[in-house]
Structure 1
Amino acid sequence: MSEILSPAALLQEMAASVPYLAFLGIRFETAGDELTGVLPYRPELIGNPMLPALHGGVTAAFLEVTAITGLLWSGLRQGRIPARSPLILPKTIDLTIDYLRPGQPRDAFARARINRSGRRYASVHVETWQDDPARLFAQATGHFLTRSE
Protein backbone atom coordinates (compact mmCIF):
# COMPACT_ATOMS: atom_id res chain seq x y z
CA MET A 1 0.00 0.00 0.00
CA SER A 2 1.27 3.48 -0.83
CA GLU A 3 1.98 6.00 1.88
CA ILE A 4 -0.10 9.23 1.80
CA LEU A 5 2.11 12.33 1.94
CA SER A 6 1.49 16.06 1.83
CA PRO A 7 2.19 17.79 -1.52
CA ALA A 8 5.27 19.52 -0.04
CA ALA A 9 6.61 16.20 1.32
CA LEU A 10 6.08 14.55 -2.08
CA LEU A 11 8.06 17.32 -3.80
CA GLN A 12 10.88 16.88 -1.27
CA GLU A 13 10.84 13.12 -1.92
CA MET A 14 10.99 13.69 -5.67
CA ALA A 15 13.93 16.10 -5.37
CA ALA A 16 15.80 13.69 -3.08
CA SER A 17 15.24 10.77 -5.49
CA VAL A 18 16.98 12.47 -8.44
CA PRO A 19 20.77 12.58 -7.84
CA TYR A 20 21.33 15.34 -10.41
CA LEU A 21 18.94 17.64 -8.52
CA ALA A 22 20.88 17.00 -5.33
CA PHE A 23 24.15 17.72 -7.18
CA LEU A 24 22.80 21.03 -8.50
CA GLY A 25 21.24 21.89 -5.13
CA ILE A 26 17.85 22.74 -6.67
CA ARG A 27 15.07 23.17 -4.13
CA PHE A 28 11.49 24.40 -4.24
CA GLU A 29 9.70 26.92 -2.08
CA THR A 30 5.94 27.28 -1.83
CA ALA A 31 3.80 30.24 -0.86
CA GLY A 32 0.08 29.49 -1.15
CA ASP A 33 -0.52 28.17 -4.66
CA GLU A 34 2.81 29.51 -5.97
CA LEU A 35 5.84 27.26 -6.46
CA THR A 36 9.29 28.78 -7.01
CA GLY A 37 12.39 26.83 -7.98
CA VAL A 38 15.66 27.96 -6.42
CA LEU A 39 19.10 27.22 -7.87
CA PRO A 40 21.69 28.30 -5.26
CA TYR A 41 24.89 29.60 -6.82
CA ARG A 42 28.09 27.57 -6.49
CA PRO A 43 31.31 28.11 -8.47
CA GLU A 44 31.00 24.58 -9.91
CA LEU A 45 27.93 25.73 -11.90
CA ILE A 46 29.94 28.17 -14.03
CA GLY A 47 30.31 27.13 -17.66
CA ASN A 48 32.24 30.11 -19.01
CA PRO A 49 34.79 31.40 -16.47
CA MET A 50 35.75 34.30 -18.76
CA LEU A 51 32.38 36.05 -18.30
CA PRO A 52 31.63 34.28 -15.77
CA ALA A 53 28.28 32.70 -16.69
CA LEU A 54 26.20 29.74 -15.55
CA HIS A 55 26.59 26.64 -17.69
CA GLY A 56 23.84 26.31 -20.30
CA GLY A 57 23.19 22.70 -19.29
CA VAL A 58 22.64 23.76 -15.68
CA THR A 59 20.17 26.41 -16.85
CA ALA A 60 18.38 23.87 -19.08
CA ALA A 61 18.15 21.31 -16.26
CA PHE A 62 16.82 23.97 -13.89
CA LEU A 63 14.12 24.99 -16.40
CA GLU A 64 13.12 21.39 -17.15
CA VAL A 65 12.90 20.27 -13.53
CA THR A 66 10.92 23.40 -12.62
CA ALA A 67 8.44 22.61 -15.41
CA ILE A 68 8.03 19.00 -14.24
CA THR A 69 7.75 20.03 -10.60
CA GLY A 70 5.24 22.74 -11.53
CA LEU A 71 3.10 20.09 -13.23
CA LEU A 72 3.29 17.84 -10.18
CA TRP A 73 2.53 20.72 -7.81
CA SER A 74 -0.50 21.77 -9.84
CA GLY A 75 -1.80 18.21 -10.08
CA LEU A 76 -1.34 17.58 -6.37
CA ARG A 77 -3.01 20.85 -5.39
CA GLN A 78 -5.99 20.21 -7.69
CA GLY A 79 -6.33 16.56 -6.67
CA ARG A 80 -5.60 15.22 -10.17
CA ILE A 81 -2.51 13.39 -8.90
CA PRO A 82 -3.00 11.07 -5.93
CA ALA A 83 -1.03 12.15 -2.86
CA ARG A 84 0.89 8.91 -2.59
CA SER A 85 4.42 7.71 -2.71
CA PRO A 86 6.17 7.02 -5.06
CA LEU A 87 5.37 9.77 -7.55
CA ILE A 88 5.12 9.03 -11.26
CA LEU A 89 7.06 11.78 -13.02
CA PRO A 90 5.92 13.27 -16.36
CA LYS A 91 8.22 12.38 -19.26
CA THR A 92 9.69 15.14 -21.40
CA ILE A 93 8.60 15.08 -25.05
CA ASP A 94 10.52 18.23 -25.99
CA LEU A 95 11.93 21.37 -24.38
CA THR A 96 12.74 24.56 -26.28
CA ILE A 97 15.01 26.95 -24.41
CA ASP A 98 15.61 30.63 -25.11
CA TYR A 99 18.88 31.84 -23.56
CA LEU A 100 18.19 35.56 -23.27
CA ARG A 101 21.40 36.66 -21.50
CA PRO A 102 24.19 35.03 -19.49
CA GLY A 103 23.24 33.73 -16.06
CA GLN A 104 25.35 35.63 -13.54
CA PRO A 105 27.26 33.99 -10.66
CA ARG A 106 24.42 34.29 -8.13
CA ASP A 107 21.24 32.46 -7.10
CA ALA A 108 18.58 31.88 -9.76
CA PHE A 109 14.81 31.48 -9.44
CA ALA A 110 12.19 29.98 -11.74
CA ARG A 111 8.43 29.64 -12.03
CA ALA A 112 6.33 27.46 -14.31
CA ARG A 113 3.03 28.38 -15.94
CA ILE A 114 0.95 25.47 -17.16
CA ASN A 115 -0.62 26.26 -20.51
CA ARG A 116 -2.44 22.94 -20.85
CA SER A 117 -2.61 19.86 -18.67
CA GLY A 118 -4.70 16.92 -19.79
CA ARG A 119 -4.83 13.22 -19.02
CA ARG A 120 -1.90 12.35 -21.31
CA TYR A 121 -0.22 15.60 -22.39
CA ALA A 122 0.86 18.88 -20.82
CA SER A 123 2.37 22.13 -22.13
CA VAL A 124 4.37 24.28 -19.71
CA HIS A 125 6.19 27.63 -19.97
CA VAL A 126 9.02 28.37 -17.49
CA GLU A 127 10.86 31.61 -16.79
CA THR A 128 14.06 32.08 -14.80
CA TRP A 129 15.63 35.21 -13.36
CA GLN A 130 18.16 36.27 -10.77
CA ASP A 131 17.65 39.69 -9.17
CA ASP A 132 14.52 40.94 -10.93
CA PRO A 133 11.61 38.69 -12.08
CA ALA A 134 11.00 41.15 -14.94
CA ARG A 135 14.56 40.62 -16.25
CA LEU A 136 14.68 37.00 -17.40
CA PHE A 137 17.94 35.33 -18.34
CA ALA A 138 16.27 32.25 -19.86
CA GLN A 139 12.85 30.82 -20.60
CA ALA A 140 11.56 27.52 -21.95
CA THR A 141 8.47 25.85 -23.32
CA GLY A 142 8.13 22.14 -22.76
CA HIS A 143 5.70 19.39 -23.67
CA PHE A 144 5.31 16.41 -21.38
CA LEU A 145 3.69 13.00 -21.44
CA THR A 146 1.59 12.54 -18.31
CA ARG A 147 -0.12 9.44 -17.00
CA SER A 148 -3.38 9.28 -15.14
CA GLU A 149 -3.86 6.29 -12.88
Structure 2
Amino acid sequence: MIADTPYARMLGIASIASEPGTVGLMMPATTQLEGRQGFLYGGVIASLLELACLEAITQERDSDGPRPKPINISFDFLRGGLMVETFAQARLSRVGRHVVNADAICWQAGRDRPIATGRMHLLLDQGRGR
Protein backbone atom coordinates (compact mmCIF):
# COMPACT_ATOMS: atom_id res chain seq x y z
CA MET A 1 0.00 0.00 0.00
CA ILE A 2 1.30 3.42 -0.98
CA ALA A 3 -0.01 4.95 2.27
CA ASP A 4 2.52 2.76 4.12
CA THR A 5 5.57 4.23 2.35
CA PRO A 6 7.87 6.50 4.37
CA TYR A 7 7.01 9.57 2.26
CA ALA A 8 3.26 9.03 2.62
CA ARG A 9 3.68 8.51 6.38
CA MET A 10 5.69 11.74 6.61
CA LEU A 11 2.78 13.57 4.94
CA GLY A 12 0.29 11.82 7.25
CA ILE A 13 -1.56 10.24 4.33
CA ALA A 14 -4.09 7.50 5.07
CA SER A 15 -6.25 5.31 2.84
CA ILE A 16 -9.99 5.98 2.99
CA ALA A 17 -13.07 4.22 1.67
CA SER A 18 -13.80 5.09 -1.93
CA GLU A 19 -16.18 4.36 -4.78
CA PRO A 20 -15.77 1.01 -6.55
CA GLY A 21 -13.02 1.15 -9.17
CA THR A 22 -11.24 4.04 -7.44
CA VAL A 23 -8.91 4.56 -4.48
CA GLY A 24 -9.10 7.32 -1.90
CA LEU A 25 -6.49 9.01 0.26
CA MET A 26 -6.70 11.67 2.98
CA MET A 27 -3.96 14.06 4.10
CA PRO A 28 -4.32 16.07 7.32
CA ALA A 29 -3.12 19.67 7.35
CA THR A 30 -0.06 20.31 9.50
CA THR A 31 2.14 23.36 9.82
CA GLN A 32 4.99 21.45 8.10
CA LEU A 33 2.87 21.31 4.91
CA GLU A 34 2.13 25.03 4.77
CA GLY A 35 3.36 27.03 1.78
CA ARG A 36 2.19 30.61 1.76
CA GLN A 37 0.46 31.59 4.98
CA GLY A 38 -2.82 29.74 5.44
CA PHE A 39 -2.40 27.49 2.39
CA LEU A 40 -0.96 24.07 1.69
CA TYR A 41 2.26 23.94 -0.33
CA GLY A 42 1.41 23.00 -3.93
CA GLY A 43 4.01 20.25 -3.91
CA VAL A 44 2.20 18.27 -1.22
CA ILE A 45 -1.09 18.59 -3.13
CA ALA A 46 0.70 17.23 -6.21
CA SER A 47 2.19 14.45 -4.07
CA LEU A 48 -1.25 13.48 -2.79
CA LEU A 49 -2.53 13.23 -6.38
CA GLU A 50 0.52 11.24 -7.49
CA LEU A 51 0.28 8.84 -4.56
CA ALA A 52 -3.44 8.29 -5.25
CA CYS A 53 -2.64 7.36 -8.87
CA LEU A 54 0.15 5.03 -7.74
CA GLU A 55 -2.19 3.44 -5.20
CA ALA A 56 -4.75 2.77 -7.94
CA ILE A 57 -2.07 1.05 -10.00
CA THR A 58 -0.79 -0.90 -6.99
CA GLN A 59 -4.28 -2.24 -6.27
CA GLU A 60 -4.75 -3.22 -9.93
CA ARG A 61 -1.40 -5.03 -10.18
CA ASP A 62 0.71 -7.26 -7.98
CA SER A 63 1.79 -4.87 -5.21
CA ASP A 64 4.99 -6.88 -4.61
CA GLY A 65 6.19 -6.39 -8.17
CA PRO A 66 8.29 -3.51 -9.47
CA ARG A 67 6.72 -0.07 -9.55
CA PRO A 68 5.74 1.36 -12.91
CA LYS A 69 7.99 4.13 -14.21
CA PRO A 70 6.42 7.57 -14.80
CA ILE A 71 6.33 8.72 -18.41
CA ASN A 72 4.38 11.92 -17.84
CA ILE A 73 2.71 13.61 -14.88
CA SER A 74 0.46 16.64 -15.19
CA PHE A 75 -1.27 18.66 -12.46
CA ASP A 76 -3.85 21.42 -12.75
CA PHE A 77 -4.18 23.63 -9.68
CA LEU A 78 -7.70 25.06 -9.66
CA ARG A 79 -7.76 26.98 -6.36
CA GLY A 80 -5.65 27.35 -3.24
CA GLY A 81 -5.67 24.47 -0.79
CA LEU A 82 -6.54 25.69 2.69
CA MET A 83 -4.98 24.29 5.84
CA VAL A 84 -7.67 21.61 6.33
CA GLU A 85 -7.98 17.88 5.63
CA THR A 86 -7.45 17.21 1.94
CA PHE A 87 -8.73 14.25 -0.04
CA ALA A 88 -7.78 12.62 -3.34
CA GLN A 89 -9.46 9.96 -5.41
CA ALA A 90 -7.86 8.19 -8.37
CA ARG A 91 -8.97 5.76 -11.02
CA LEU A 92 -7.26 3.98 -13.86
CA SER A 93 -8.60 5.26 -17.16
CA ARG A 94 -6.67 2.76 -19.28
CA VAL A 95 -4.53 -0.28 -18.56
CA GLY A 96 -2.59 -1.37 -21.62
CA ARG A 97 0.12 -3.95 -22.11
CA HIS A 98 2.90 -1.39 -21.64
CA VAL A 99 1.29 1.83 -20.38
CA VAL A 100 -1.20 2.69 -17.63
CA ASN A 101 -3.13 5.97 -17.58
CA ALA A 102 -4.51 7.25 -14.27
CA ASP A 103 -6.60 10.29 -13.34
CA ALA A 104 -7.00 11.87 -9.90
CA ILE A 105 -9.01 14.64 -8.29
CA CYS A 106 -8.22 16.49 -5.07
CA TRP A 107 -10.70 18.36 -2.88
CA GLN A 108 -11.27 19.69 0.61
CA ALA A 109 -14.78 20.85 1.56
CA GLY A 110 -16.56 18.96 -1.19
CA ARG A 111 -15.66 16.76 -4.12
CA ASP A 112 -17.75 19.04 -6.34
CA ARG A 113 -15.21 21.87 -5.69
CA PRO A 114 -11.83 20.34 -6.58
CA ILE A 115 -8.65 22.20 -5.71
CA ALA A 116 -6.50 20.23 -8.19
CA THR A 117 -6.55 17.41 -10.71
CA GLY A 118 -3.80 15.16 -11.98
CA ARG A 119 -2.99 12.71 -14.74
CA MET A 120 -0.24 10.14 -14.91
CA HIS A 121 1.03 7.93 -17.70
CA LEU A 122 3.27 5.12 -16.48
CA LEU A 123 5.36 2.49 -18.20
CA LEU A 124 4.75 -1.01 -16.88
CA ASP A 125 7.88 -3.02 -16.15
CA GLN A 126 7.87 -6.00 -18.49
CA GLY A 127 10.69 -7.77 -16.65
CA ARG A 128 13.35 -6.72 -19.20
CA GLY A 129 16.69 -5.14 -18.41
CA ARG A 130 16.85 -6.12 -14.76
TM-score with structure 1 setting the length: 0.76
Which residue of structure 2 lines up, in the alignment, with residue 109 of structure 1? Answer: 87
- Alignment size in residue pairs: 126
Q: Distance in 2 between matches of 1:35 and 1:90?
A: 17
Letter of the structure 2 residue corresponding to residue 67 of structure 1: C
Q: Is 1:29 paired with 2:16?
A: yes
Partner of 1:56: 42
Q: Deviations over 1:84-138 (max 9, x none)?
A: 6x34222211111100000011001111121111122011111000010000000
Is 1:20 matched up with 2:44? no
Cα distance in 1, alignment partners of residues 15 and 97 from structure 2: 25
Structure 1 stretches of 4+ with a deviation exceeding 3 A read: none
Larger radius of gyration between Structure 1 and Structure 2: 1
TM-score (norm 2): 0.86
User: How far apart in 2 are the matches of 1:88 and 1:43?
Assistant: 34
Contact 1:27 1:38 in 2 (8 A): yes
SS at match of 2:112: coil
Which position in structure 2 is the counterpart of 1:66? 52
Q: Compute the displacement of 1:148 (Å).
A: 5.2
Distance, in Å, in 1 between the alignment partners of 2:18 and 2:43 is: 28
Q: Which has the higher helix share?
A: 1
2:106 pairs with 1:128: yes
RMSD of aligned C-alpha atoms?
Answer: 1.8
Whether the aligned pair in 1 keeps the contact of 2:81 and 2:115 (CA below 8 Å) is: yes
Partners of 1:92 and 1:28 in 2: CA distance: 22
* Separation (CA, whole Å) in 2 of partners of 1:60 and 1:23: 15
Gaps of 5+ in 1: 1-10, 76-80
